[in-house]
């Protein structure tokens, strides 16, 4: 399995899947982006930004110009926001929400995002500056999302505590995992 993910045809397939997913993801956020002021718009679409960064990272790999920082941030965010969306959609089901095909689709596609992140993060050459950058960006994103209220819209307002808690746990676990990867190699 690991060998196949390095094949150009597989990387190009992932490139186009993620590009299409990113476009759809930004469309998904169009109403929230319209209602968000100024530069804060950049911090609203978490999942499509993650998949767009991964699309760019894949392109750099395919053109033999890999960018480890870009790849690390993309993979870290794919894992974080992929798992976060799975948690939020599953939580919505457990609190009695009207779990529809859309929720199922979001759960499945975001699980795929997280899987991509886990498949690729292990091969990234990480230095301490990349590590500090990823962890800082994740923390800044969490603060902006939950202190300024620009987190992705939830299916129910009662999900706010679960959303904030899960994103903090994911940031912590991904940070620890990346630190472990860094220490394992050096």
| pLDDT 10s digits, 124-168 | 999 999 999 999 999 999 999 999 999 999 999 999 999 999 999
Chain CA centroid to CA 61, Å: 19
Question: Which residue has tokens 């929230």?
Answer: 32
Q: State the pLDDT at residue 13.
A: 96
Residue 163 domain boundaries: 4-185
Q: Is the pLDDT of residue 1 over 60?
A: no
pLDDT in tens, 57-96: 999 999 999 999 999 999 999 999 999 999 999 999 999 9
Taking the model in full, what pTM does it have? 0.94
State the average pLDDT over residues 13-39: 96
Domain count within the chain: 1
In angstroms, the Cα distances linking 58 to 85, 90, 108, 123 are 22, 29, 21, 13
Render 26-85 in DSSP notation, one character per residue: HHHTHHHHHHS-GGGGGGS-HHHHHHHHHHHHHHHHHTT---HHHHHHHHHHHHHHHHHH
């Amino acid at each position: 399995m690991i060998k196949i993910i390095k094949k150009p045809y597989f990387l190009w397939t992932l490139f186009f899947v993620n590009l299409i997913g990113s476009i759809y993801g930004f469309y998904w956020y169009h109403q929230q982006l319209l209602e968000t002021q100024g530069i804060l718009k950049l911090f609203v679409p978490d999942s499509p930004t993650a998949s767009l960064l991964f699309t760019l990272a894949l392109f750099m790999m395919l053109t033999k110009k890999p960018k480890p920082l870009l790849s690390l941030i993309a993979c870290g965010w794919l894992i974080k926001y992929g798992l976060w969306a799975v948690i939020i959609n599953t939580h919505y089901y457990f609190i009695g929400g009207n779990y529809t095909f859309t929720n199922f689709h979001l759960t499945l596609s975001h699980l795929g995002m997280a899987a991509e992140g886990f498949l690729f993060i292990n091969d990234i050459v990480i230095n301490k500056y990349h590590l500090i950058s990823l962890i800082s960006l994740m923390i800044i994103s969490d603060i902006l999302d939950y202190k300024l209220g620009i987190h992705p819209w939830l299916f129910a307002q009662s999900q706010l505590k679960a959303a904030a808690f899960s994103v903090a746990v994911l940031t912590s676990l991904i940070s620890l995992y990346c630190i472990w990867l860094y220490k394992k190699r050096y």
